Amino acid sequence: MTGTGGAAAATADAVEAVFRIESARIIAGVARIVRDVGIAEELAQDALVAALEQWPVTGVPDRPGAWLMATAKHRAIDLVRRRETYARKLAEVGRTLEDVPPPEPPEPDDIDDDLLRLIFTACHPVLSAEARVALTLRLLGGLTTGEIARACLVPESTAAQRIVRAKRALARADVPFEVPSGPDRAVRLASVLEVVYLIFNEGYAATAGDDWLRPALCEDALRLGRVLAGLIPEEPEVQGLVALLEIQASRTAARTGPDGAPVLLAEQNRTRWNRMLIARGFAALERANAAASAAGTAPGPYALQAAIAACHAQALRYQETDWAMIAALYGRLAAVARSPVVELNRAVAVSMAEGPEAGLALVDALAAEPALRGYHLLPSVRGDLLARLGRRAEARAEFDRAASLTRNERERALLRARAEACAGPGG
Nearest one of 138, 193, 195, 194 to 161, comparing CA atoms: 138
Nearest one of 233, 198, 234, 239 to 217, comparing CA atoms: 198
Distance CA 129, CA 281 (A): 26
Beta bridge pairs of residue 380: none
Query: Which is more confidently placed, 381 or 180?
Result: 381
Worst-scoring range by mean pLDDT, 163-167, 184-188, 387-391?
184-188
Residue 290 makes CB contacts below 8 A (sequence gap 6+) with none
Query: pLDDT of 244-253, one tens digit each?
Result: 999 999 999 9
Compute how many other C-beta atoms are within 10 angstroms of the C-beta atom of residue 319: 7
Range 188-215 average pLDDT = 85
Confidence category of residue 95, pLDDT binned at 50, 70, 90: low
Query: pLDDT of 372-393, one tens digit each?
Result: 888 999 999 999 999 999 999 9
Contact 327, 362 (CB under 8 A): no
Distance CA 215, CA 254 (A): 12
Query: Which is more confidently placed, 69 or 212?
Result: 69
Distance CA 25, CA 22 (A): 5
Average pLDDT, the chain: 88
Report percent pLDDT > 90 for the chain.
Answer: 54
Confidence category of residue 12, pLDDT binned at 50, 70, 90: confident
Compute how many other C-beta atoms are within 10 angstroms of the C-beta atom of residue 193: 23
The pLDDT of residue 84 is above 70: no
Measured between its terminal Cα atoms, the distance across the chain in Å is 64
**pLDDT for position 301:** 97
Contact 337, 301 (CB under 8 A): yes
pTM more than 0.75: yes
Distance CA 65, CA 104 (A): 11
Confidence category of residue 111, pLDDT binned at 50, 70, 90: low
Query: Which is more confidently placed, 351 or 179?
Result: 351
Look at the chain and count its residues: 427
Query: Which is more confidently placed, 118 or 88?
Result: 118
Query: pLDDT of 222-250, one tens digit each?
Result: 988 998 898 889 999 999 999 999 999 99
Distance CA 137, CA 143 (A): 6
Cα dihedral sign, 301-307-309-311? negative
Query: pLDDT of 325-352, one tens digit each?
Result: 999 999 999 999 999 999 999 999 999 9
Confidence category of residue 102, pLDDT binned at 50, 70, 90: very low
Distance CA 116, CA 231 (A): 7
Range 63-71 average pLDDT = 91
Contact 362, 346 (CB under 8 A): yes
**pLDDT for position 152:** 74
Range 249-269 average pLDDT = 94
Confidence category of residue 92, pLDDT binned at 50, 70, 90: low
**pLDDT for position 414:** 95
Distance CA 129, CA 371 (A): 17
The pLDDT of residue 106 is above 70: no
Distance CA 271, CA 58 (A): 50
Cα dihedral sign, 331-332-338-340? negative
